[in-house]
Structure 1
Amino acid sequence: MNQRRARVATAILAAAAFVAILPSTASAQCGSASWYALTSKTASGERMNPAAMTAAHRSLPFGSKIIVTNQRNGKSVVVRINDRGPFIKGRVIDLSKAAAAKLGFIRAGHTPICMAAAG
């Protein structure tokens, strides 16, 4: 349990260190994330691929690379913004199914996260 807390604390500190790097359009660096696995076209015009490391964000530019860290277990993944959303109050990002699997929250459906710009 102490290792888990240490990983989460490290992830939060790392996210805080990158806050200044995020574009000003990213109003929230931490919040709730969910996942989706559609195969329709995304807002960027490409086909949604549930196996790709992609995400939907309301305002970040398409192509932005973001590090998303699951606050519950400390796991992180880099995703590329290629869609708009989420459209659920309180959620800050929608991740592809593959990204959610790497973060370990497929069964839960949503999880608290922090995000930072990938260098």
Structure 2
Amino acid sequence: MDTCGKASWYEFTTKTASGERANPEAMTAAHRTLPFGTQVLVTNLRNGRTVSVRINDRGPFIRGRIIDVTRRAARELDFKRAGWAPVRIVIKGAPVKGAPKC
């Protein structure tokens, strides 16, 4: 899977959809369909920064967004202040058959 779209960040202190306690400093994310535990690479298309996150929640629930990352991941991707960024997400270890035009 190689997908492009908008990422946003979120922060809360309750449990995630997977049952884990939410941690805004963890390198985790919410995705609508990927299985919990899936490791994905998220690349900020504005600056080329990439992080690895583990899917442990469901979302985002805002039209046009493909992934929600934690505060820490947004900070490392350098879009925390902006609130969102255009990104590419790739399942870690999955073969990529040509990158989509983002």
TM-score, structure 1 normalization: 0.77
Q: Secondary structure at the match of 1:43?
A: coil
Letter in 2 for 1:95: V
* Counterpart-to-counterpart distance in 2, 1:88 and 1:47: 23
Look up the equivalent residue of 1:96 and give its one-letter code.
T
- Please identify the structure whose Cα radius of gyration is greater: 1
Q: Tell me the distance in 2 between the aligned counterparts of 1:46 and 1:113.
A: 25
Identify, as 1 or 2, the structure richer in helix: 1
Question: How many aligned residue pairs are there?
Answer: 93
1:15 alignment partner in structure 2: none
Aligned to 2:68: 94
Given candidates 8, 19, 23, the residue that maps to 1:34 is: 8
Counterpart residue number, 2:88: 114
Unaligned residue ranges in structure 2 (runs of 5+): 94-102
Aligned equivalents of 1:105 and 1:112: distance in 2? 10
1:96-118 CA deviation, whole Å, 9 max, x = no partner?
00000000001000000001011
**CA–CA separation in structure 1 for the residues paired with 2:31 and 2:91:** 13
Q: Which residue of 2 aligns with 1:18?
A: none
Equivalent of 1:45 in 19, 43, 51: 19
Unaligned runs of 5+ in 1: 1-21, 23-27
Identify, as 1 or 2, the structure richer in strand: 2
Instruction: Say which of 56, 61, 82 aligns to 2:30.
Output: 56
Identity, in percent, stands at 61
Instruction: Select the structure with the greater relative contact order (CA < 8 A; seq sep ≥ 6).
Output: 2
| One-letter code aligned to 1:37 | E
Displaced runs of 4 or more, over 3 A:
none
Q: Distance in 2 between matches of 1:70 and 1:62?
A: 22
The root-mean-square deviation of aligned C-alpha atoms, in Å, is 0.9
Counterpart residue number, 2:58: 84
